[in-house]
Amino acid sequence: MISPSYPVCAYAALSQKRIIAGIAAENTRQTIIRILREKSSVVHQLVLNKNQVFDHGFPVEMGDQVYIQPNEFQRNQEMYYAENDTFRVCTRCHSTFHVEKDGSQTLVWNELICQDVDGNGYNYHIHTQQPMENLKKFKKAPKVNEWNMEMSGKLFAIDVESVYTTKGQEVGRVTMVDFLGTTLIDAIVKPKNPVIDYVTKYSGLTSDHMKYATETLESVREKIFDHINEDSILVGHALNGDLKSLRILHSNLIDTSILFKSNGRRPSLQKLTLTHLNREIQNSAGGHCSKEDAIASLHLVYFGLINPSLLSPIFRVSCSIL
């Protein structure tokens, strides 16, 4: 019931906005379904082959071990450290620093020991290196069976936001959407170690978000596996980093940072979305949004299907819509 004090014209305008938004959403849904129906045979041409998966730094299985080949943007970076290694390389200032035997960093409260490119000082370093033992903790999506076979060949977009803890980078938020952009998972993940930098500008996360963290890395990974099987297609931007963070092995992958032509540099999701979709993302004062990023990468795949001339030559396909 409408409150007598609520202006009817305001209510009508609000209702009209909702109707327009609903129509737009339905039009988007129908467009996506049409594209996938007409381009179903082309989608798999955008999936990375085995050599591309290896060359672009995705986790791969070699015998009974997991191996990650540094890609062209990760050369000379230390991605993993041995059990007794107590040195790390700061992602921010690139200096080498010492950690305790358990891998934790002791914060220096009365001294600035690190500086970013803007000249801001910090009393701690940050790093993305992981212990070698984490390579033993990767898991694969379930095999195809009678209960999950409808997930085969379906597109699912994933995006991960991370924070920095006393032991390095850890997952802070995970979002997964289906081929229509419907949210399947949007979880705040509780890091195993104390957070020293939420990097809110990029992650969109704050200490307040962590008050509602109900998932662990392992539990959110199992939720992902509830929605996919080994033949599902995972979509993302710089997806190799997300799968490394989630410790997931998967072979059917579409990565929008590789999909489109570039000048030798990895194109940002923000730039690709503005250029090809005429949409601005990652411009909120509150930081990035993993749901927004996941949907953007998904829509870029659809854009690529109907504009193959804009794809990287290795993915360029002969297709046109209508």
Q: Mean pLDDT, the chain, as a whole number?
A: 88
Q: Is pLDDT above 50 for 320?
A: no
- The torsion defined by the Cα of 255, 257, 259 and 265, in degrees rounded to 10, comes to -150
Domain span at residue 23 reads 8-38
Predicted local confidence at residue 318, as pLDDT: 45
Domain match, 18 and 151 both: no
Predicted local confidence at residue 153, as pLDDT: 95
Tally the domains of the chain: 3
Q: Kindly indicate the confidence band of residue 10, based on its pLDDT and cuts at 50, 70 and 90.
A: very low
Domain match, 31 and 119 both: no
Domain match, 31 and 50 both: no
11-41 residue pLDDT tens: 445 455 554 555 456 677 888 888 888 887 8
Predicted local confidence at residue 5, as pLDDT: 47
CATH code at position 44: 3.30.420.10
33-81 residue pLDDT tens: 888 888 878 899 999 999 999 999 999 999 889 999 988 888 778 899 9
- Tokens for 112? 């600035």
Asked, for residue 321, whether it belongs to a domain, the answer is: no
Domain match, 58 and 148 both: yes
Domain match, 256 and 306 both: yes
Contact predicate 124/108, CB 8 Å: yes
Q: Is pLDDT above 50 for 4?
A: no
Domain match, 203 and 242 both: yes
Predicted local confidence at residue 77, as pLDDT: 82
- Tokens for 290? 């993993």
Domain match, 28 and 54 both: no
Three-class DSSP labels, 250-304? CCCEEEHHHHECCCCCCCCHHHHHHHHHCCCCCCCCCCCCHHHHHHHHHHHHHHH
Domain match, 51 and 29 both: no
Predicted local confidence at residue 91, as pLDDT: 93
Domain match, 95 and 189 both: no
Asked, for residue 22, whether it belongs to a domain, the answer is: yes
Q: Give the pLDDT mean for 229-239.
A: 98
